[in-house]
Chain A
Amino acid sequence: MSEASPAKAYALHLGVIALLFALSFVLPAYHHGLLARIMVLAVFAMGYNMLFGYVGLLSLGHAMFFSAGLYGAGLTVYHFGWSVPAAFAAGLACGALLALAIGLLALRTSGVAFMIVTMMFAQVFYLVILYFAAWTGGDQGLVVPQPARILVLGSASLDLTNPTVRYMSALALFSIVLLVTLAIVRSRYGRVLVAIRENEGRTKMLGYDTFSNKLAAVVVSGAICAASGAAYALLFGYVGSSFASVQYSILPLLWVLLGGIATTLGPLIGTLFMYYVVDVTSGYTSAYLLIVGIALILLVLFFPKGILGTIRQRWLGWLP
């Protein structure tokens, strides 16, 4: 990774963004809509990868950060009629604050205990959503009204329910997060995180405050996941407790593992892959979960580093 030439890496990422932009004009309507959703969820996976891939902390509770963003944005629009940018900021802030609080507690543990602690905090978050059903709509969830989902910028207004606007908004969010992650990963801070992953004791001995570095990573990760959740609420118009369930904590883990741990583009590849496996196989059989399960086991047996990780290992050593 250290041998990578920065130009090559940035060119690749800009190329991917340009490709996604171009795809907007050629894709059939269905795949266009699906890709918009995939990009938003890939942001969720990128946030997860930030912590899991680069710091080596395996969380089983990231659904709470995603849904903090989802509810932070959704509820402020629904109950207080906030504008789109304000609601998005509210979602982001909710996620970052929650991540700070959870990080302060959970980072006292490591390994399996960290997994279980994050899972339990996420379970608490999920139950709290159910408990305050009068505000959150409980398990049924709430529909964010269509007229509220219009982004007003000066005299122009963008209707987020329009497919093209939605795709471009998703792409914008995805691009920003992708470039930010790339910058973080290549920065001095990113290298400290990797050092913590590889050997926390030694990093500490070298004089780094590993706790606050890890805490910062949890907050960044939580904020990115919250951004994805807030975008989901505003772009797709539904908030519901199922997004806070354990299943949505396991999904980003799968996406990242499939795409490639600690690769910047892996989360996108993994999300894309999983979505299309489910989508295509569900057309042939209702037993698509079986195929997903088998695919997972085969991947972990034969491509343990995920799709991009394997490519990096075998052919393109410079991939970030």
Chain B
Amino acid sequence: MHFGPHLLLAALEGLVTSAVLALTALGLSLVFGVMRVVNVAHGEFFMLGAVLAWAISTAISDHPALGFLAALVLAPLIVGLIALVAERLVLRRLNYNPEATIVATIGMLYIIQQLALTFYGPEARPVEAPFSYRILLPWFGYSGYKLSIIAASAFLLIATWLVLTRTKIGLVMRATQYDRETAQAFGIPVERVYAGVFAFGAMLAAVAAVLIVPISQAHYLMGQDPLLLSFIVVIIGGLGSLRGTVVAAVLIGLSDGIISVFFSPTLAKIIATLLVAMVLVFRPQGLFGTSSR
């Protein structure tokens, strides 16, 4: 294939990766930014979203689109509920201590993973896409559903941005993020904000997973890679910065797609990881973050 189309394909693939990554990482970034909690179990919420999507769409098997839509609504709600319970039972009791919450979320990671293995099983299972339109370009075919993921993700990101900047909920969240004690003094129910943020963060991961699951099956170990990538995005983008997170997700997603055009994939990953690490070393606040408090 010629270089131009090849690059186009790599860019399209990179955009799909970016779209899913942006949603997942945004969830991690909110939890991290507002609560100062490094949620190691974030990838498992992603996995739960995919697994639940499979369960729901299998239960409603009339038409693939119907099952998928049900999953798109129900799976994030269930995951949010689980996150809420986890927050209540564990994180709140730890008073959101950064180190203790890391260990606790590692514990959650093991628990969720094992429960998924026990009740869902070790197999990778497919979820049918709501529609299967194949876009025929002059050089190659491309999945129409993949393009719709980019659109759906953009829609969700804009909605989240509006909530954060234009509503009272967003204001309360930003106030809590900025200064927990002062927010509390002004009568903001900080604990409820935290609970809400944790649940919302998990729901974002779950939505991302439901979107991606028709093109990459549900599997109980699928949470590992999104977790690592989300960490990278959050750090590069700067803590709690929505704009930074999205830009970093696009950057990382695209570079993942395009670098692999030029290098052997393992070497590409080595170079990309090393580059990101160097950015962190020499610009620890991230590319778009302002100075850390």
Please report B residues at the A interface, Cβ cutoff 8 Å. 32, 38, 90, 93-94, 97, 99-100, 102-104, 106-111, 113-115, 117-118, 224, 228, 231-232, 235, 266-267, 269-270, 273-274, 276-278, 280-282, 284
Query: A301, B235: Cβ atoms under 8 Å?
Result: no
Q: Is A123 an interface residue (CB 8 A)?
A: yes
Does the CB pair A120–B282 fall under 8 Å? no
Determine, out of A76-84, A161-169, A285-293, the stretch whose residues face the partner at the interface.
A285-293
**What is the interface of chain A mostly: helix, strand, loop, or mixed?**
helix
Known contacts A130-B266, A290-B115, A250 near B106 by CB under 8 Å: yes
Contact status A120-B232, CB under 8 Å: yes
Q: Is the CB of B281 within 8 A of A297?
A: no
Q: Is the CB of B94 within 8 A of A301?
A: yes
Asked whether B106 lies within 8 Å of A254 as measured between CB atoms, the reply is yes
Mask for A237-267, Cβ within 8 A of B = 1, else 0?
0000000001000100110010000000000
- For A297, give its contact among B108, B115, B224, B235 (CB under 8 Å): B108
B273 touches A120 (CB 8 A): yes
Partner of A116, one of B110, B114, B232: B232
Query: From B282, which residue of chain A is reached at the shortest CB distance?
Result: A108
Report which of A109, A253, A297 forms a contact with B284, defined as CB distance below 8 A. Answer: A109
* Min C-beta distance of A112 to chain B, whole Å: 6
Closest residue of chain A to B234 (Cβ to Cβ) is A116
Pair B103/A254 contact, Cβ less than 8 Å: yes
Closest to A138 in B: B266
CB of B34, distance to nearest CB on chain A (Å): 14
A-B residue pairs, 10 tightest by C-beta: A293-B110, A296-B107, A293-B111, A297-B107, A290-B114, A289-B114, A120-B277, A293-B107, A113-B284, A109-B284
Interchain CB contact (< 8 A) of B104 among A123, A127, A253, A300: A300
Interface size on A, residues (CB 8 A): 38
Contacts of B231 in A (CB 8 A): 116, 119
| Apart from A123-B228, A131-B270: 8 A-B pairs, beta carbons within 8 A | A106-B281, A109-B280, A110-B284, A117-B277, A289-B110, A290-B111, A292-B110, A293-B110
- Give chain A's interface residues, CB within 8 Å of chain B: 58, 105-106, 108-110, 112-113, 115-117, 119-121, 123-124, 127-128, 130-131, 246, 250, 253-254, 257, 287, 289-290, 292-297, 299-301, 304
Known: A115-B38, A121-B277, A287-B114. A300 touches B284 (CB 8 A): no
Are B94 and A124 touching (Cβ within 8 A)? no
In this complex, what residue of A is CB-closest to B93?
Answer: A301
**Distance from A42 Cβ to chain B, minimum over Cβ atoms (Å):** 19
Contacts of A296 in B (CB 8 A): 103-104, 106-107, 110
Listed A/B pairs (25) with beta-carbon separation below 8 Å: A58-B102, A109-B284, A110-B284, A112-B235, A117-B281, A119-B231, A120-B276, A124-B270, A124-B277, A246-B228, A254-B106, A257-B103, A287-B114, A289-B110, A289-B111, A289-B117, A292-B107, A293-B109, A296-B106, A296-B110, A297-B108, A297-B111, A299-B103, A300-B100, A301-B104
